[in-house]
Structure 1
Amino acid sequence: MTPQLRAAARPFSAAALTDLVPAGTRLLALGEPTHGAEEFLDLRNELFRHLVTAHGYRSIAVESDCLAALAVDAYVGGAAGELDTVVREGFGHGFGESAGNRELVRWMREFNAGVEEGERLRLYGADGPLEMTGAAAPGPALIRLHDFLAERLPAELLPEREELLRRCGPDDRWTEPAAALDPARSVGRTADADRLRLLADELGLLLAAHRPQFHADADALWRAELDARTATGLLRYHAATAGDGPDRINSLMRQRDLMIADNLEAILRREGRRGPTLVFAHNRHLQREASRIPLGDRQLLWWSAGSLLESRIGDGYTFLATTFGHRAPDDHPAPDTLEGLLATLPEPRTVLDPGLLAAALGETGVVRARVPADHTYFGLDPEALGWVDGVVFVRDIARQQGLFGGG
C-alpha cells in the first residue's frame, strides 16, 4: 500500500460515500460487479437509509421487473401481504431470494408507517419484464393500456379490443424458452407481432396526446404510461429475439438498456419534486461508457443505460461503482490489477476518490484489468476511472449461489 493509495481511501461509511456525490444529483446510481453477493445489497441498504434520513431521498429503483415491482411498492406503502411472498414474487431474476432485498422492503415499510403519505418511500423496478430465458408477453400491458383509454376516450379513437386479444393470443407463444437461442422459435416478427407494434404505437400516441386530460388521476396515469413503455419495449425486444443476423445479441442488449433508461427517466419525472432517486443495478448497466462483453471470438458493444441517461440529464447523473477483492473459496485478484492493489488496504470496505485513485495507479504502474475467474462478474477497468464519481471496494465476499453466482 502506497501513501498515494492511502490518501485516496477512506473507511466505508454512507456519509463518506455521499461526500463524493456532486450537488445537483438527481439520479444516484450505485453499481455492483456481480449479482447474488449479499455484501453489495447490505452496502446499498446502508446507503439508502442514510440518503433517506440525511439527504431527502424518497425513492429507490432496482434492477428488477418494473411490473412485478408494483406489488412490492404497494406493500411498502402499507398494503396487506406477507413479506417473504411479496419479495419472492415482486423481484425478478431470482433476486427475491436475497436476504438483502427482504431487509430493504421490511425497512421501507417500517419507515412508511411513521410518515405522511407525501413523504412515503417508493420502490420501483427499473428493468423490463425480462429473464435469462426470454421476455414476458406484451398482451397484459397492452390490454391494460387499451382499457385505461377506453374508459376515458371515445370508442372510435381506439382499435378494437378483440383484435388486440386475437393477435396477442396465449402468453406462452411469446414466452417460449427455446426462442432465446433459436430465432425461428420467436413470434416477434410474425404478422401478428408487426400489427401489434403498430397498435401499441397508436395507443401510446393517444395516451401522450391526451395526457392533460388524464393528469388529475396521477397514479392511474403513471400505471398507463408504464404499461405503454413496457408493451412497446417488449414488442421491440421480441422482434430483436426473432432476428437472425450477426447483431442479434447486441440488439437484445440495446433494447434492454433502453428500457431501463426510459423507466428511470420516467421515475425521475415522477419523483423530481420529492427528491433524488437511488438506482441499484449492475455496473455494466449504470456505467457512463459503452458496455463491452466478450462472447466467443466477438465483442458485444452497446450503449449502457447509464450512458443514455448521462446524455439526457447530464450533471444530474452520478455513478458510484463497486468492486471486490477475494471471493471464497479461491478467487483472488492478481497483485498487478486494480483489485489486487486495493486488497492491500486494511479496511474490509473502502470508499475511494477516483481521481486520487487514478493518480495512485500512475505511481504504482498498475494498469491491468482483472480477468474474471468465471462468467459471473466483471472487474473494474482502471482505464474507466475518469467516468466514475466514486468507488467502493469490498475486500472479501462469500461465494454466491444460484443463476448469477454460479453456485
Structure 2
Amino acid sequence: MSTDHDDVRALARPLRDEADLDPLLERIEDARIVAIGEASHGTHEYYAWRAALTRRLVAERGFRFVAVEGDWPDCYRVNRSVRLREGADEDPRDALDAFARWPTWMWANDDVVQFCRWLRAFNAARPEPDRIGFYGIDVYSLWDSMQGLVEWLREHEPQHVDTAMQALRCFEPFGEDGAEYAFASRFAPTSCEQAAVDLLRSMCQGRGREELEGDPESRFSAEQNAAVVVDAERYYRAMIRGSAESWNVRDVHMVDTLDRLLTHAGDKAVVWEHNTHIGDARATDMAGAGMTNVGQLLRERHGGDDVVLVGFGGHRGGVVAGESWGAQMERMPVPPARGGSLEALLHDAVGADALFVVPRGERPAWLDRRLDHRAIGVVYRPERERWGNYVPTVLGERYDAFLYLDDTSPLQPLHLERADEHVPLVSEAV
C-alpha cells in the first residue's frame, strides 16, 4: 500500500485556485469536447470547480457552448438570458428560479447562477452570433416540449400545427404522467410513437428555406423540442422493459442532441453531467449490465484526441439530496469514504484537494486497478454507505483527468421544493 501511496502522491497536483488547472488545460490541448462530471448533484465544490474550468475553456480556448444534464425548454430560457436575446430574462437567476421539475436544486442553485451571470457578462461584449450558449440535452421534458412546440408552430409555421395537434391529442389522455403512458403503451395495441415520429419528420421538411427566412436559433429549438418528444416517448416505453434499455435511450438522446448542437451552435462544447454519464461506462460494471453512456459514446463517435473526460470525487462532507425519489430536499452528511475505495486511497495518500491528469503512456498501477468509486445521485441515504453508493471503476480508463476534493459542502438551492413541482418517472437517480 505504501507503494500505491507514493505513486498517488507523485501524480497529484495541488488544487487551490483556477491557476492550478493549468495541467488540465495542457491535457485538453485542441480537444473539441470536454465533458466535466460531478460525484453528486448536490455538492458546492463540484459545481464551483466545474464552473471555474468552463470559464477558462470559454475565455481562453474558444469553447462555444455548455450542454448540461437538464431539460431543453427550461435550459433554453437560461440560454436566451445568457445570450441577451430580445425579451429574455435580464438576470439568469430568474430563468433558473423558474425550474419546476424535481430535483430543482440541480440547476436552481447559487453556483449555477454565478456562472450564468458571468456568461451573460462575457457575452455582452461579443456580437450576437459569437455569444456562448447554455443548453439542456436531457430527455424528460415530453409534455413541456410538446406544448412549447405547438405554441411555436402556431406563431411561426401554422402549416405544421395539425400534425403537432395529432401528437398532442395522442398524449393528452395520460396528462403528464409518464408511468400511466408507459403502462398503457405496454398493454394497449398502439402507442404514440408514430405520431411523434411524424411530427419530427414534418418539422424537418423545408428546414433550409425556413432557416434562411427566419430565426435559425428559434427554429432549432423547435426542432429540438420535436426530437425530445420522439425520444421521450421511446424512453417511457423502454422503462417498462428494463432500466438498462431506458438508460441507453436517454444517454443516446443526450449525445445525439450534443452532435446537433456541434453543428448548430459551434464546434467546441463543454458538457456538464454526473460522473455516471461522463465517465466511460466500459471502465465500470455498467458495461456488464448492457449499459452505455455519454462518455463512451463520445469517445466512440469523436475519438480520444477530440474528447476529454473529467471526473470528480470527494472523501467526506455534505450534500443536498432527497431520501427517496420526489422527496423534499435536505442537507445530508457524507461520511468518510469506506475503506478500500478510490476516495479512501486518495485521502490516505494525499489528504488534500488535488488534480490528477491521467498519463497518455505508461502509468502507475493504481490507475488500472478496479476500485469502488462513490456516486451520489439525487436520492441518497448515508446509512447505505457500507454496501451501496459506489461504482466499481478503473480510474485510468474511465476518465482523462480527476479532481479530488477532500472535504465538501452542500449546494445552496435558490428555493425549497414546491408543492406543485413535477416529479418525472425515471429508472435511475443520476
**TM-score, with structure 1 as normaliser:** 0.79
Structure 1 stretch displaced more, 26-35 or 208-217: 208-217
Aligned partner of 1:124 in structure 2 is 135
Aligned partner of 2:399 in structure 1 is 388
Aligned partner of 2:124 in structure 1 is 113
Secondary structure of 1:123's match? Answer: strand
Q: Following TM superposition, by how much is the alpha carbon of 1:212 offset from its aligned partner in structure 2, in angstroms?
A: 2.5
Aligned partner of 1:322 in structure 2 is 312
Q: For each residue in 1:195-240, what CA deviation from the matched residue of structure 2 results, as whole angstroms up to 9, or x when unmatched?
A: x421332232334343322332322331232122111112212322
Q: For each residue in 1:367-397, what CA deviation from the matched residue of structure 2 results, as whole angstroms up to 9, or x when unmatched?
A: 5424775679954644242242111111111
Secondary structure of 1:19's match? Answer: helix
Aligned partner of 2:89 in structure 1 is 80
Counterparts of 1:317-356 in structure 2, within 5 Å, are: 317-328=307-318, 329=333, 331-346=335-350, 348-355=352-359
Q: Following TM superposition, by how much is the alpha carbon of 1:100 offset from its aligned partner in structure 2, in angstroms?
A: 0.8
**Residue segments in structure 2 that go unaligned for 5+ positions in a row:** 319-332, 376-381, 418-428
Q: For each residue in 1:17-59, what CA deviation from the matched residue of structure 2 results, as whole angstroms up to 9, or x when unmatched?
A: 2222143x22110011111001100001111111122111231
Q: CA–CA distance in 2 between the matches of 1:138 and 1:222? A: 13
Q: Is the 8 A contact 2:369 2:394 kept in 1?
A: no
Q: CA–CA distance in 1 between the matches of 2:372 and 2:260? A: 35
Structure 1 residues 382 and 354, CA gap change in structure 2 (3 angstroms): farther
Structure 1 residues 303 and 370, CA gap change in structure 2 (3 angstroms): closer
Q: Is the 8 A contact 1:337 1:366 kept in 2?
A: no
Aligned partner of 1:220 in structure 2 is 218
Secondary structure of 1:67's match? Answer: helix
Structure 1 stretch displaced more, 84-93 or 138-147: 138-147
Q: CA–CA distance in 1 between the matches of 2:247 and 2:118? A: 33
Aligned partner of 2:272 in structure 1 is 280
Q: CA–CA distance in 1 between the matches of 2:274 and 2:48? A: 15
Aligned partner of 1:258 in structure 2 is 252
Q: Is the 8 A contact 2:248 2:291 kept in 1?
A: yes
Q: CA–CA distance in 1 between the matches of 2:391 and 2:165? A: 51
Q: Is the 8 A contact 1:30 1:319 kept in 2?
A: yes
Aligned partner of 1:237 in structure 2 is 235
Identity level (%) = 20
Counterparts of 1:52-201 in structure 2, within 5 Å, are: 52-78=58-84, 79-90=88-99, 92=101, 93-94=103-104, 95-130=106-141, 136=143, 139-140=146-147, 143=150, 147=154, 150-151=157-158, 163-169=166-172, 173-176=174-177, 179=180, 184=183, 186=184, 190=188, 194=191, 196-201=192-197
Q: CA–CA distance in 1 between the matches of 2:58 and 2:188? A: 47
**Residue segments in structure 1 that go unaligned for 5+ positions in a row:** none
Q: Aligned AA for 2:237? A: A
Q: Is the 8 A contact 1:138 1:234 kept in 2?
A: no
Structure 1 stretch displaced more, 12-21 or 373-382: 373-382
Q: CA–CA distance in 2 between the matches of 1:345 and 1:91? A: 42
Q: Is the 8 A contact 2:36 2:50 kept in 1?
A: yes
Secondary structure of 1:103's match? Answer: helix
Aligned partner of 2:36 in structure 1 is 30
Which of 4, 7, 12 pairs up with 1:9? 12
Is 2:236 the counterpart of 1:269?
no
Q: CA–CA distance in 2 between the matches of 1:188 and 1:112? A: 47
Q: Is the 8 A contact 2:314 2:343 kept in 1?
A: yes
Structure 1 residues 380 and 391, CA gap change in structure 2 (3 angstroms): farther
Q: CA–CA distance in 2 between the matches of 1:83 and 1:204? A: 30
Q: CA–CA distance in 1 between the matches of 2:92 and 2:76? A: 14
Q: CA–CA distance in 2 between the matches of 1:391 and 1:22? A: 16
Is 2:201 the counterpart of 1:205?
yes
Q: CA–CA distance in 2 between the matches of 1:358 and 1:326? A: 31
Q: CA–CA distance in 1 between the matches of 2:348 and 2:402? A: 16
Structure 1 residues 39 and 269, CA gap change in structure 2 (3 angstroms): same
Q: For each residue in 1:73-117, what CA deviation from the matched residue of structure 2 results, as whole angstroms up to 9, or x when unmatched?
A: 111122334543311224853124321111111111222222222
Q: State the number of aligned residues.
A: 377
Q: Following TM superposition, by how much is the alpha carbon of 1:352 offset from its aligned partner in structure 2, in angstroms?
A: 0.6
Q: CA–CA distance in 1 between the matches of 2:391 and 2:285? A: 13
Q: CA–CA distance in 1 between the matches of 2:143 and 2:166? A: 20
Q: CA–CA distance in 1 between the matches of 2:360 and 2:298? A: 26
Q: Aligned AA for 2:198? A: E
Secondary structure of 1:303's match? Answer: coil
Q: CA–CA distance in 2 between the matches of 1:284 and 1:375? A: 18
Secondary structure of 1:302's match? Answer: coil
Aligned-residue RMSD, C-alpha: 3.5
